[in-house]
Chains A and B, each alone.
Chain A
Amino acid sequence: MARSVTTRRKAFNTAVAWAIGLLIFFPILWTILTSFKTEAQAIADPPVFLFFDWTLENYGVVMERSNYAKFLWNSIAIAGGSTLLGVLIAVPAAWSMAFVPSKRTKDILMWMLSTKMLPAVGVLYPIYLVFIKLGLLDTKFGLIVVLMLINLPIIVWMLYTYFREIPGEILEAARMDGAGLKEEIIHVLTPMALPGIASTVLLNLILAWNEAFWTLNLTAAQAAPLTAFIASYSSPEGLFFAKLSAASTMAIAPILILGWFSQKQLVRGLTFGAVK
């Protein structure tokens, strides 16, 4: 009796989980479906769901009209570069906060987090002016630096949390065993923190890839990533939903595929330390 109740409950929970999952995924699914419709079908009323004339025409037009490869490369360079730079800066910072904390460590962590509470638009002017002065407007380097700074608090916090999970005694054991700081980091700390570092990198790649505010405001043609590529199809003079959808699908596909393959890693990393 108890068993059947459990089973029924399980089925209910599964159904609810699927419903929520589909609800969240629906806009993406709709975008992908729309990208295979003609412009007329895209705005058809009532909307068509699966039974329409599937076409690749939109993709052809988009590829013809814009240089997808260049946008893609810019996205890879900006997301990858800002993540790499962020991790390089955050690893030593998180290491020192986790293993040699001072009285102010908690304050520093909170202060770093507080920068995320500021609306980005609040600092657009100063940063824009700095970019003009330094000649960084519409450069990949400038965007790499800005996105790195924007996401640095998250990277430091995540790494700090992972490092804190590594028992200090193991690092002390390494020291007793003759490991210097370098060997300690290479042979003990990094391998043990690797799952954490990997999920930090992954999450940061996703955040940087999808970052639109700064990429749209600080780039024009040269350094524009895929977010700008999508934006170029949302023109006010005409509604080209199918083409916009095709562009969006092309923009999100790489990161979606990356996320799909690494979801196990990502979930483990994000819930690390939550359950002992």
Chain B
Amino acid sequence: MGRIVLEKVVKRFGQAEVIPPLDLTIEDGEFTVFVGPSGCGKSTLLRLIAGLEDVSSGRIVIDGTDATELAPAKRGLAMVFQSYALYPHMTVRRNIAFPMKMAGMDQAEQDRRIAKAAEALNLTDYLDRKPGQLSGGQRQRVAIGRAIVREPQAFLFDEPLSNLDAALRVGMRLEISELHKRLNTTMIYVTHDQVEAMTMADKIVVLRAGHIEQVGSPLDLYRTPRNLFVAGFIGSPRMNFIDGAEAAKHGAHTIGIRPEHMEVSSTSGLWKGRVGVAEHLGSDTFIHVHDTGLAETMTIRVDGEVDLHHGDTVYMTPREEMLHRFDAQGLRMAEVGVPA
């Protein structure tokens, strides 16, 4: 099955070390998401696992076999690329058949698997078209079909949804999640979109400058971010950070409070400010508050019905148990009576 272990993996491009020594285990059947800002090394890490880049040192073990020196095709992995990377001169059928043809699979088995994949992905009517005649979503499905038919030990997805429009993206996100539930195969998914990470992952790996900042389930990362970076990266809108005297009251260098963890009132509360922009989403409203004397802008998330407008005075009270405390190094501090 698809257990992938990275041991002290290092990647250098010339003098630049883009992945410093890195250890990571991805369990069989797990949906793991690599997330981080652009340039954090998440795609490079995926390409190292795929074998499209050579590691500078360290080992990659797939299913107990040292795959460090293996060619990409010999690793039993299938990859879905950001640009879909379909073969434009081949029909959908030939695109999906290509990996099986390369593996020398007999025609009957190829046809069976193509039919099965096409049905699962709603591509049956398009098998004789070329990629150029398909929409973005359909192309993405062909790319997934090409990956499925190999019955790989693990799927690798490199920002597969970033070329789709917003509505399609939500749909494909669900489809990929359902595919994972159905196949129960290891999937590694790279994205810079923390919403994708939160909604799809069993396990999220947050990366910054090639370093793993934190590994955990989406809710682990949301509830107990290990440091300021993870706290700021996971969650939307972003966590509010407050330094100085207010933080010192809690015995911390910085305190963080998520927009959804504050009580809002127009009459009384702990912190006072003035409403700047209010973003009405219907279900919720995000209010950007200025002049709090705590941080340049604080964001609060309130019910969609709340009637607050530009210039209004607003009072905020953080829910004490939802406060995050960080030390001068930006690391999470132990909660009172609970180890960090």
Contact = CB atoms under 8 A, between A and B. Distances in A.
Interface of A: 167, 169-170, 172-179, 183, 187-188, 191-192
A76 B78 CA distance: 48
Contacts of A176: 50, 52, 72-73, 77-79, 99
A172 B88 contact: no
A173 B102 contact: no
Given A178-B73, A178-B99, A178-B102, A173 B88 contact: no
B81 interface: yes
Q: Quick one: which of A172, A173, A192 has the most chain B CB within 10 A?
A: A173
A177 B83 contact: no
Contact of A169 (B78, B83, B89): B83
Contact of A192 (B82, B89, B99, B102): B89
A177 B102 CA distance: 7
Contacts of B78: 176
Nearest to A190: B89
Interface in B57-83: 71-73, 77-79, 81-83
Contacts of B146: 173, 177
A170 B85 contact: yes
Given A170-B87, A192-B88, A175 B81 contact: no
B336 interface: no
Given A170-B87, A172-B52, A183-B102, A177 B73 contact: yes
7 contacts: A167-B85, A170-B85, A172-B72, A172-B81, A176-B77, A176-B78, A192-B89
B229 interface: no
B222 interface: no
Contacts of A187: 87, 98
Contacts, number: 56
A175 B52 contact: yes
A178 B81 contact: no
A175 B73 contact: yes
A183 B99 CA distance: 11
A190 to B, nearest CB: 10
Interface in B203-229: none
Interface of B: 50, 52, 71-73, 77-79, 81-83, 85-89, 98-99, 102-103, 146, 150
Q: Which 8 A-B pairs have the closest CB atoms?
A: A178-B102, A178-B73, A173-B85, A177-B99, A169-B85, A191-B89, A169-B81, A170-B85
A177 B98 contact: yes
Nearest to A172: B52
Contacts of A169: 81-83, 85
A183 B146 CA distance: 17
A178 B103 contact: yes
B52 to A, nearest CB: 5
Q: Quick one: which of A175, A177, A178, A191 has the most chain B CB within 10 A?
A: A177
Contacts of B73: 175-179
A192 B79 CA distance: 21
A178 B102 CA distance: 6
Contacts of B86: 170, 173
A144 to B, nearest CB: 32
Nearest to A179: B102
A175 B85 CA distance: 11
Contacts of B98: 174, 177, 179, 187
Nearest to A177: B99
Contact of A173 (B77, B81, B103): B81
A183 B73 CA distance: 13
A168 to B, nearest CB: 9
Nearest to B73: A178
Contacts of B83: 167, 169
A178 B150 CA distance: 10
Contacts of B82: 169
Nearest to B150: A177
B43 to A, nearest CB: 11
A173 B82 CA distance: 11
Contacts of A172: 52, 72, 79, 81, 85
Contacts of A178: 73, 99, 102-103
B101 to A, nearest CB: 8
Contacts of A179: 73, 98, 102
A191 B102 CA distance: 17
A192 B131 CA distance: 13
A113 B77 CA distance: 43
Nearest to B152: A176
A218 B61 CA distance: 63
B15 to A, nearest CB: 13
B87 A188 contact: yes
A179 B104 CA distance: 11
Nearest to A169: B85
A169 B79 CA distance: 11
B88 A175 contact: no
Contacts of A188: 87
Given A172-B85, A174-B87, A176-B73, 17 more contacts: A167-B85, A169-B81, A170-B87, A172-B72, A172-B81, A173-B85, A175-B71, A176-B50, A176-B72, A176-B78, A176-B99, A177-B99, A178-B102, A183-B102, A187-B87, A188-B87, A192-B87
